[in-house]
């Protein structure tokens, strides 16, 4: 599947490699995709308001949070419930994951959440500079084969966009159960130079932060004997 980027300054095409759908949706999920998603869905047509994303909500959100690749939406919904005065944007092109999040939105009546159901790389350039307090990237596809490493989301271009949208002192939070991707991320962030790693001792990256919600994917990783790492970076001035 090849998607043309919204940014016309990019002449090259951006190819999306992830899954879009797996098993058929349940009837109620299909109804939510049809009836609820349009009210929460962000597209390139929303570019003007995305420059000041807090205005997506009424009253305007006190802080803005972005989660890239929210999977089944457990963490994102938990964050939205915990911080009702904040605004959340979740990116996820996987249709089944979007449907699961919509079920949580309906169940918990979450009004502080919007969804970008496409490639996050097309959203980042539309977001206003220094408008987000946090960006989460949790268990992204590790693309373990060396020839596929270039597909990893953590790269210099995406880090530049993440730093741009973060406020000074804003946090970029990364989690993975793949040691090579953890090392890759530390190297990429250090090479970028616009972030500071908050870890001072091993427990700072081996243990999740207070109030952490362990997702179904993380539980599977733990049962399989894989150890997650939690990397917290802040944008430097």
Residue among 88, 89, 80 nearest 110 (CA):
80
Residue 3 makes CB contacts below 8 A (sequence gap 6+) with 13, 14, 15, 16, 118, 119, 122
pLDDT per residue as tens digits for the range 29-79: 999 999 999 999 999 999 999 999 999 999 999 999 999 999 999 999 999
Distance of CA 114 to the CA centre of its chain: 12
Confidence label for 21 from pLDDT (cuts 50, 70 and 90):
low
Looking at CATH, the fold of the domain delimited by 15-235 is given as Rossmann fold (3.40.50)
Give domain limits for the chain: 15-235
- Is pTM beyond 0.85? Reply is yes
What is the β-pairing status of strands 166-176 and 229-235? antiparallel
Q: Is 231 helix (H, G, I), strand (E, B) or coil?
A: strand
**Which residues carry out catalysis?**
141
Q: Is 62 helix (H, G, I), strand (E, B) or coil?
A: coil
pLDDT per residue as tens digits for the range 105-119: 999 999 999 999 999
């Amino acid at each position: 599947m090849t998607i043309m980027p919204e940014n016309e300054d990019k002449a090259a095409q951006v190819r999306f490699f992830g899954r879009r759908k797996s098993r058929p949706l349940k009837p109620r999920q299909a109804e939510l995709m049809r009836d609820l998603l349009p009210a929460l869905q962000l597209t390139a047509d929303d570019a003007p308001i995305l420059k000041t994303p807090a205005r997506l909500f009424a009253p305007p959100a006190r802080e803005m949070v972005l989660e890239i690749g929210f999977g089944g939406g457990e963490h994102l919904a938990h964050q939205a419930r915990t911080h009702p005065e904040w605004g959340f944007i979740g990116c996820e092109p996987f249709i089944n994951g979007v449907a699961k999040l919509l079920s949580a939105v309906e169940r918990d009546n979450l009004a502080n959440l919007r969804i970008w159901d496409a490639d996050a790389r097309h959203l980042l350039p539309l977001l206003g500079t220094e408008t987000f307090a946090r960006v989460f990237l949790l268990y992204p596809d590790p693309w373990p084969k060396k020839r596929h490493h270039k597909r990893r989301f953590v790269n210099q271009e995406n880090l530049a966009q993440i730093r741009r949208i973060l406020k000074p002192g804003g946090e970029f939070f990364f989690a993975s159960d793949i040691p090579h991707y953890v090392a890759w991320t530390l190297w990429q962030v250090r090479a970028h130079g616009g972030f500071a790693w908050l870890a001072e001792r091993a427990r700072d990256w081996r243990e999740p932060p207070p109030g952490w919600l362990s997702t179904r994917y993380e539980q599977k990783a733990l049962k399989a004997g894989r150890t997650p790492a939690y990397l917290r970076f802040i944008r430097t001035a």
